[in-house]
Amino acid sequence: MKITIVMGFFLPVPPAAGGAAEKSWHGLALEFARRGHDVTVISRRWPGWPDLETKDGVTHLRIPGFAHTKKLWRNLLLDFAWSLRVQRRLPPAEIVVVNAVALPCWLGWLRPKAGRVVVMPGRMPKGQFRAYNHIARIMATSTPVLAAVLAENPRWAPRARIYGYPVNVSAFTGPPRALPKAGVTLGFVGRIHREKGLDLLVEAFALLAERELPPWRVLFCGPVDVARGGSGSEYRDALAARLATALPADRVTFAPAEFDEAALVRRYRELDIFCYPSLAAQGETFGVAVVEAMAAGAVPVVSALACFTDFVKDGVNGVVFDHTASDAAKRLATVLARLIADSGRRAALATQAAADTQAYDFPIYADRLLADFQALVSPLDQEHAAR
């Protein structure tokens, strides 16, 4: 098959500057190419990179994009401009996967030779599914995303499936880790942003510091600057200052973002407990970082957002706490204290967590997706869609 993958306007592929969608679709593009498919990825032009190249069997077309902003309305305008630019550069294909908001509004009828349109909403929908036409497949990343899509436009129900995100599980999996001399490591890997619940997490760490527990330490790793999805260095510094009032400096690490996969794996492998107390009910659509941490052998502790319930089962392969409670920080601290103190429970949860991530590994995910694509381009499916 000829497959085109359109990314968003602010990050490149390969994912030199992070991005869950960029990482996922880059991995899938490589997997598709390894299986003999003709794959083109369209992403943002990046300094020092060629506008057109073929690498590892994947053709990369990079066009001028834009920096991400703090304002949703500005990002939507930039997405519209990006969609117009992409439309003019699309090659003929059988499948075109779109990770942009505006482009599917007109692509299916205006450029049918670009291929059957597959949409993967990376964020909660903003009303665009009322305007979409000629969509062959909607790849919802989680149960709440699917519900939100169908609330906007119920007619897409026959074309929608829950897929989650693919993750390079094999890269994160390794032998069981011996307990480090520093004790249990708790931490967060992801964007250093307020919506991730990091203020709540830091307060929980401060409460933990008041308890008698086996040795433990804290690790934060992720992009801080707004252009890469963070809340800025001032926010990071405020978190660090609060931790400094509760914990010695040698027990807290704020590491820079790791965009090299091997370096990122090493960071995840440092963690015994992965804390992801996100508050973003409208922002979280899956949780790639959580799956990566699970694959790396960490126990996930997550907030009670609906998107996590597709793969984190409380008391089976992780722990879920009520982030909406008035004493949420105390509840989180209690959960973490129990895990720190009980190495046997940590080991059991971590083993099950790693096993449950296999369904998201690239080869398995690609098998399912390519079978779906093949069905979409079959004459029978096209005849059905035209009715």
pLDDT of 16: 83
Choosing among 3.30.1950.10, 3.40.50.800, 3.40.50.2000, 3.40.50.10490, the CATH entry for 2-164+361-386 is 3.40.50.2000
CB-based contacts of 259, cutoff 8 Å, min separation 6: 15, 16, 17, 18
Instruction: Show the low-confidence residues of the chain (pLDDT under 70).
Output: 175-182, 379-387
Phi-psi region at 237: left, alpha or beta (left = phi > 0; alpha = psi -120 to 50) = alpha
pLDDT of 387: 42
Residue extent(s) of CATH 3.40.50.2000 domains in the chain: 2-164+361-386, 169-359
pLDDT of 90: 97
pLDDT of 260: 81
User: What does CATH list as the number for 169-359?
Assistant: 3.40.50.2000
**DSSP conformational letter for 138:** E
pLDDT of 178: 54
- Measured over all CA atoms, what is the biggest interatomic distance in the chain, rounded to whole angstroms? 67
**pTM (2 d.p.):** 0.83
Nearest to 172 by CA among 362, 370, 368: 362
Give the mean pLDDT of the chain.
93
